[in-house]
Structure 1
């Protein structure tokens, strides 16, 4: 029994009545061909059942079109939005995101081994903190383009994108001060977290800039769970009855704070004088429908744009071998709702 001959680029070109070069451009996404020509090529591919030999294409170009994206979990909304931005740009450039999830430093090492074995063209690491020097040196020695996205700031010779946590809390604190608040608490965050330290720095510096004395007793670290955080907030309100506003480190702290305020018979809102509402701002993005009424005012880090920018710079390095030093990134913005 004769084996059916696999169709080639030349066969596709002949059926579509175009040159083999035009078919190659359509397959690679490079070069300029008309929509009409591209449609004829696609129709010919479907009719013949042509399957591109990616291994051969990779050998010719020296590239696989794969970009490894190392994600430290997908629980945080920030990570999901970063991934959406990365995917949007990677898809736009006709490349493929090779997504690998890790939890520990050992996981990250193992995922790097997998990515390198697949000969990826570049690597993007999304991490809650800066990557270790050993990982950075390893990637440098491999001479593979890479970028990092993290929740904390870090000095690096390579492309690093991060949340300016101090600016996040400074923005929210200044907004509350402009609304007349002077007794503002800060709830949540692990005491060993560098990101929390940065947010507290922005909070304290903004208070001092406005000649408001900072009060360490208004700082409440995260509890072991939502109930512990709620109980901590109840005690905070009891010992500071003049409290009018609270900054919440993250979504977990926000949930615990709302529960604690309600348990004390107080409400979340803007009316701090007649109804004695307590204003609340979450220091990370929260969906409007997440808490019902009132909707929570929060800070948007522009995580989607951060992911898009990181992918853009990495792809430029992969395709053009150009080192792009800076790319404008929007700073944090307030999403104003009914809680403050």
Structure 2
């Protein structure tokens, strides 16, 4: 990794003294507004982030790990965050949790704040959008950083990616529905063009091609509300659909919730498969078939790898995929 920009670099970029930059960072009222703006602009241009705990970090690890999650309202990410925090605690580290709420601007701000407070490493499930700004802040931080579940970068990425084997998960779901006799299988949810959507969809598409089935893809928000809307749309515009693979369990639960009012017998007339294996899927009616990402093992592996990187300098490989499995329940099987 390249060296983190320093106060001297900021001073040179802004054309001021080091002491002036220090005064700006301390919020001193004696600095003119014009000078303050010039220094802040220089900081943004070179990717400088003020580290309030620099002295501590020079002598030892802060013992803090920043965990930045794109959507903590989703039970899938909440489960991961809780398990990851407990695994880190056993290794003597504390977790500082931040929810970006799918807002890339907020995400960059939170990462900068965590760097200021001296975190020893980052785990980030990134929000999409304005990727360059987020990557610039992370690169300038020069701190061990793992991406989980999603990636902001193409192959050859700067930061390692840890993610479930989404492609295999899509294949398992599609092969199951084909084996159940489904002739018209739709894929529902996930924002179009996003890498994680393409990956979860890829296995579905390959299986349908192998069996000579035409795909039907209806992308959109990964929410229960979207699932309910899609159930209505399928009934109206695509009555021949007899199986659906959903981007995540929330979409699938929305589909199941809408079926009774539409007069659809879920599990028989319409077979439904989700993705993630959140707890709510076990208690839905009917219980939800889903692709399990085995979050307990995933959280433990993530914790081990970031701790090894911080303590021993052992960076993970550029990309690692964890195994998935299909959990078959009544929503897809008689």
Q: TM-score, normalised by structure 2?
A: 0.71
Shift of 1:133: 4.2
- Find the counterpart in structure 2 of residue 246 from structure 1: 244
Is the 1:222–1:229 Cα contact (8 Å) retained in structure 2? no
- Find the counterpart in structure 2 of residue 162 from structure 1: 163
Partner SS state of residue 283, structure 1: strand
1:239, 1:325 → 2: CA distance? 46
- Find the counterpart in structure 1 of residue 150 from structure 2: 151
- Find the counterpart in structure 1 of residue 289 from structure 2: 297
1:196, 1:132 → 2: CA distance? 17
Shift of 1:302: 2.3
Kindly tell me: are residues 244 and 172 of structure 1, through their superposed partners in 2, closer, same or farther at Cα, counting changes over 3 Å?
A: same
Q: TM-score, normalised by structure 1?
A: 0.69
Shift of 1:174: 0.9
Q: Does 1:116 align with 2:108?
A: no
Give the stretch that moved more between structures: 316-325 or 58-67: 58-67
Shift of 1:195: 2.8
Aligned-residue CA RMSD (Å): 3.2
Aligned length in residues? 276
- Once the two structures are superposed, residues 248-293 of structure 1 have per-residue CA deviations (whole angstroms, 9 ceiling, x without a partner) of 2223422332244323322112xx4xxxx32111123232566543
Gaps of 5+ in 2: 1-52
Gaps of 5+ in 1: 1-54
1:131, 1:160 → 2: CA distance? 19
Kindly tell me: are residues 339 and 119 of structure 1, through their superposed partners in 2, closer, same or farther at Cα, counting changes over 3 Å?
A: same
Residue of structure 1 aligned with 2:261, choices 263, 288, 291 = 263
Is the 2:273–2:288 Cα contact (8 Å) retained in structure 1? yes
2:108, 2:319 → 1: CA distance? 29
- Find the counterpart in structure 2 of residue 71 from structure 1: 69
- Find the counterpart in structure 2 of residue 214 from structure 1: 214
Shift of 1:172: 0.2
Q: Does 1:95 align with 2:93?
A: yes
- Find the counterpart in structure 2 of residue 34 from structure 1: none
Is the 2:161–2:319 Cα contact (8 Å) retained in structure 1? no
1:248, 1:235 → 2: CA distance? 14
Shift of 1:191: 3.3
Larger Rg: 1
